[in-house]
Structure formats: C-alpha cells, structure tokens
Structure 1
C-alpha cells in the first residue's frame, strides 16, 4: 500500500488549480479542468501554448 502525497497548495488552502492552462494567440486562456473559473497563470503549475494541444487549435496563430 502506498501513501497518498498531499498537494502543498491544497493543505495550505491556497487558490490554485490542478488543471492545465492553455494560452491562445489572442491572449485568451482556458483550463482543461471543467470546474476552473479563474484562468490566471499564477494559479496553474502547467501552462502550455495552444499549438502544443494534440490536433491543433481553433485560434489563428
């Protein structure tokens, strides 16, 4: 049996998201986590450019 590792942000009750933030060419952002409502970069550990999304993106880069 393995022990679960707690998220430091969760245990310290800091505002954060476990989802991936996707940044588009026009500056808009979206998170892959459906419940995420605050798409600021500082809340996300993983931030990627939309060109890195498998299958491309709908925006015009």
Structure 2
C-alpha cells in the first residue's frame, strides 16, 4: 500500500498529533516529525483520549509520550 500524499509530493506526517489542553501545545508520535502543525497531520487526538491517559501537568520535564517503534 502506498501513501497518496507521498505520491503527490504533499508535505505531511504519518504520525499522530497529540494536542495537550494545558497551553494548547502539541507533539507527534513520529520521532522524525519536527512540525506540530495540524495541517500536516491526518490523525489528531486530545491527550486525554490516550489509553494510558496523560500526566502532562503532573510531572514537568518527563517525556509525555512513548514513541512508536
């Protein structure tokens, strides 16, 4: 299976953008992604929708997500 956006040369990301309501900051599950722009991501979720929840406000400096392998 091929990605239509890749074939068309459209700038996009294959990761999931996770939006944190505290401050509205975002992060991507793709370690290679450096742009948290919503337009580049086909998949966007709220951090509270994660199965493990999100402790973004609980532990400053702690990595928020486990990167997909």
Pair in the same fold by TM > 0.5? yes
Structure 2, unmatched stretches of 5+, are: 58-69
Root mean square deviation of aligned Cα? 1.0
Indicate the residue corresponding to 1:38 in structure 2: 35
**What TM-score, normalized by structure 2, do the two folds share?**
0.75
**What TM-score, normalized by structure 1, do the two folds share?**
0.83
Count of residue pairs the alignment pairs up: 56
Structure 1, unmatched stretches of 5+, are: none
Moved over 3 A (4+): none
Q: Which has the larger radius of gyration?
A: 1
Indicate the residue corresponding to 1:13 in structure 2: 9
